[in-house]
Structure 1
Amino acid sequence: MDFSIVCKGLRKEFQGDGIKTRALDEVNATFKKGEFVSIVGTSGSGKSTLLSILGTLDSPTSGSILYNNEDIKTYNKNGLADFRFNHIGFIFQQFHLLPTLTSLENVMAPLFSRNVPYNKKERAEAVLERVGLKDKMNSLPSQLSGGQQQRVAIARAIVHEPHWLLADEPTGNLDTETGDIIFSLLTELNREKGCGVIFVTHDPALAAKADRMIEMKDGKILSDKELARV
């Protein structure tokens, strides 16, 4: 299957205090299966809103999104939940780990209510080892550094082997060196597993390492450039 993402005429408006704000303004873009795309822009440019809509955490005011040539507007609430579980992994600036659960339990959390064709504990252990946390499986988030917590969050995002990783400023709360390590990990997962990555960032140096860079301003795409990734 071709799990490319196609956005057609996406518009997102918010209403508050009698004022209508347009966060996305007729966005058209295609994200090809397996590519690594960075999205840059100043605060309020619409990049995080676009990512939320791509991941079906929010819905557009108008326009459509096609996954594998299917319009997600045809999915009901349960269908969207199943779609997100099967195809989308989310990584955020805030790690969103449950403080009373160990690293292993946090990674297993998305699987608790799901029937899957593999051993949940073994899969969680494998992905934690993949992100370099074999010795931290029984640690609580409070016992981990920021970089380690983000690696747990990445392990949680990839535990069901999604087709796409959507990362919203995943290095924003980390120092430069740790941020580079996290970015390198996402690059390795993209190359080795073939999962597409859409990476929202304020860091132009990281953005320039992607296959492609999209620049946004005022809810519009200003530029969409292919890059020569090393």
Structure 2
Amino acid sequence: MGLSISVQSITKEFKGDGFKTLALDHVSADFQEGEFISIVGTSGSGKSTLLSIIGTLDSPTDGKLLFNGKDAQHLSPKQLSDFRFEHIGFIFQQFHLLPTLTALENVMSPLFARKVPYNKKQRAEEVLTKVGLIDKSSSLPSQLSGGQQQRVAIARALIHEPNWLLADEPTGNLDTENSEIIFDLLSSLNEEKGCGVIFVTHDPVLAQKTGRMIKMKDGRILTDWKDDTL
């Protein structure tokens, strides 16, 4: 089943001792199944906050988040957790690999507490092969380069074949060569598997290669450009 996402007039405020920050200011956008979208903007523009809300890791102060037209606010915490597991894979700038687990075990880690209708080890080997690291299955994170660790993190996000990959600055800690490798990998996954990708980045060169680019500033969407030739 496909998964469309809609954010409707989303506002997000962060409050502390005597201060209030408006991170998102009435943001609205629709994301269709299979799209490859980049979100760009300076630090503090709201792009990572928007991604966290889309991925249900955070909730809006006001506005609605809809999945296939259904309001996410009606889901219980357990239902949200199950929803994320079934439909969304996360990739972050920090790789968040468990240092005492091998690459294969890190890829399998989202499945440790889950019952699934497939062989967990076999699926993990399949996705490690897809990201070109099956030969590093037994390696610990400390034995891998930054680019290799990020590919393991992508394999972990793919383990349950999500509808969407939400990537928050996945090339932020990588050099130009490895950034291109990671971007090309996400692009091929989008094309071959039909997996939607929302790619938050500071890199305008990579952002312009996606089929749609959203530019944000001060918690608002400035432009939402789509290449209709793709």
Query: Fold conserved (TM > 0.5)?
Result: yes
The aligned amino acid for 1:62 is D
Partner of 1:160: 160
Tell me what 1:50 maps to.
50
Q: TM-score w.r.t. structure 2 length?
A: 0.98
In angstroms, what is the RMSD of aligned CA positions?
1.0
| Cα distance in 2, alignment partners of residues 136 and 228 from structure 1 | 39
In structure 2, runs of 5+ residues without a counterpart are none
Amino acid at match of 1:215: K
**What is the TM-score normalised by the length of structure 1?**
0.98
The answer on whether the counterparts of 2:103 and 2:140 sit within 8 Å (CA) in structure 1 is yes
Contact between 1:39 and 1:199, CA under 8 Å: does it hold in 2?
A: yes
* Deviation at residue 229 of structure 1 after TM alignment: 7.3
Deviations 1:104-135 (A, max 9, x none): 00000000110101000000000001100010
CA shift digits 1:36-55 (9 cap, x unpaired):
00000000000000000000
Q: Which runs of 5+ in 1 are unaligned?
A: none
Preserved contact between residue 210 and residue 229 of structure 1 (Cα < 8 Å): no
* Structure 2: distance between partners of 1:229 and 1:149: 34
Hey, what's the Cα distance between the residues in 1 that align with 2:107 and 2:217?
35
Deviation of 1:228 after TM superposition, in Å, equals: 6.0
1:48-104 per-position Cα deviation (integer Å, ceiling 9, x unaligned): 000000000000001011111111001001000000000000000000000000000
Partner of 1:12: 12
1:95 equivalent in structure 2: 95
The sequence identity of aligned pairs, in percent, is 70
8 Å contact kept, 2:2–2:163:
no
Give the ranges of 4+ consecutive aligned residues of structure 1 lying more than 4 Å apart after TM superposition.
none
- Residues of 2 paired with 1:127 and 1:178: CA distance? 19
Q: How many Å separate the matches in 2 of 1:227 and 1:152?
A: 30
C-alpha contact 1:208 1:227 (8 A) present in aligned 2:
no
2:204 alignment partner AA: P
Residues 91, 167 of structure 1: 8 Å contact kept: yes
Conserved 8 A contact 2:92-2:167: yes
Does the C-alpha gap of structure 1 residues 12 and 160 become closer, same or farther in structure 2, counting only changes over 3 Å? Answer: same
State the number of aligned residues: 230
